[in-house]
């Protein structure tokens, strides 16, 4: 994602006056840069002219996305970015810039100002800082950290699901096999199945790790019947 321009304008009655602008056209060829910058200036003025006071919008222009914010006092801002740049961050930037600009530049200079006469030097810094919305915008940083947490937790949850499903499958096999045993062995196997089911239930986990709990259950099985398949391989600690 990338920001290409950040402009402050004044929406006059029949035209938009460019007050200050910053550009990042380093991704374009050297001989293309003047024409690209001119295109972005013209596009920013045209969008402001066609926008109502107190409005904000995102306009698609060729491969660019233009975010415009026109305040009720006619002070306006335009960000031109690629389509991947988050619009929420773009409007946050525009609000911040226009608020700061209105405090530093007297309102009487807006209608007839121009980039050469307006003293405001923060645009280049903002354009550079907001190239990475994660670092510049707190909400984007929090969202990125949440996404990273999901990436870490989902594989762990998947592994836990595989363990649980495998354990339940072994319990089903053990219970089915108990029907073919003698009464004494059948009883001990059914007791063991009941222990495993309770251990695998989220509301009835046995204390300690799954491996340790399974080991205790297997020992109990051996003491009860003295025979049987023992602890399934997939469930050994």
For the chain, what is the HEC assignment?
Answer: CCEEEEEEEEECCCCEEEEEEEECCCCCCCCCHHHHHHHHHHHHHHHHHCCCCCEEEEEEECCEEEEEEECCCCEEEEEEEECCCCHHHHHHHHHHHHHHHHHHCCHHHCCCCCCCCCCCCCHHHHHHHCCCHHHHCHHHHHHHHHHHHHHHHHHHHHHHHHHHHHHHHHHHHHHHHHCCCCHHHHHHHHHHHHHHHHHHCCCCCCCCCHHHHHHHHHHHHHHHHCCCCCCCHHHCC
Among residues 191, 187, 207, which one has the least CA distance to residue 199? 207
Length of the chain, please? 237
Angle at which helix 210-225 crosses helix 183-200, to 10 degrees, equals: 170
Judge whether residue 20 has pLDDT over 90: yes
Reported confidence tier of residue 228, pLDDT bands at 50, 70, 90: very low
Reported confidence tier of residue 63, pLDDT bands at 50, 70, 90: confident
Summarised one tens digit per residue, pLDDT across range 138-178 is: 665 555 555 555 555 555 444 554 445 555 555 555 555 55
Give the other-Cβ count within 10 Å of 4's Cβ: 22
How large is the average pLDDT for residues 128-139? Answer: 78
Q: What pLDDT was estimated at residue 181?
A: 58
Judge whether residue 17 has pLDDT over 90: yes
Q: CB neighbours of 45 closer than 8 A, spacing ≥ 6? A: 9, 15, 16, 18
The CA distance from 103 to 96, in Å, is 11
CB-based contact 68:49 (threshold 8 Å):
no
* β-pair type (64-70, 55-61): antiparallel
Judge whether residue 54 has pLDDT over 70: yes
The CA distance from 97 to 91, in Å, is 10
Q: What pLDDT was estimated at residue 225?
A: 45
Angle at the Cα of 147 from the Cα atoms of 142 and 153, rounded to 5 degrees:
125
Backbone angles phi, psi at 131, to 5 degrees: -60, -30
Judge whether residue 135 has pLDDT over 50: yes
Q: What is the pTM of this model?
A: 0.59
Find residue 76's DSSP bridge partners: 9, 70
């Amino acid at each position: 994602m990338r920001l290409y321009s950040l402009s402050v304008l004044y929406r006059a009655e029949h035209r938009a006056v460019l007050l200050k602008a910053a550009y990042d056209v380093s991704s374009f060829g050297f001989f293309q840069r003047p024409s690209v910058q001119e295109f972005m200036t013209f596009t920013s003025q045209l969008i402001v002219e066609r926008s109502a006071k107190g409005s904000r919008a995102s306009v698609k222009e060729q491969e660019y996305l233009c975010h415009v914010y026109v305040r009720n006092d006619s002070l306006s801002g335009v960000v031109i970015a690629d389509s991947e740049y988050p619009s929420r961050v773009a409007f946050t930037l525009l609000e911040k810039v226009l608020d700061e600009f209105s405090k530093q530049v007297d309102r009487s200079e807006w209608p007839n100002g121009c980039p050469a006469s307006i003293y405001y030097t923060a645009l280049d810094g903002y354009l550079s800082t907001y190239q990475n919305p994660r670092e510049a915008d707190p909400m984007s940083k929090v969202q990125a950290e949440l996404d990273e947490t999901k990436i870490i937790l989902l594989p762990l949850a998947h592994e836990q699901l595989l363990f649980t499903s495998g354990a339940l499958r072994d319990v089903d096999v053990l219970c089915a096999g108990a029907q073919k045993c003698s009464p004494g062995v059948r009883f001990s196997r059914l007791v063991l199945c009941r222990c495993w089911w309770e251990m695998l239930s989220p509301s009835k986990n046995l204390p300690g790790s799954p491996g340790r709990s399974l080991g205790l259950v297997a020992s109990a099985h051996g003491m009860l019947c003295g025979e049987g398949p023992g602890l399934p391989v997939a469930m050994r600690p």
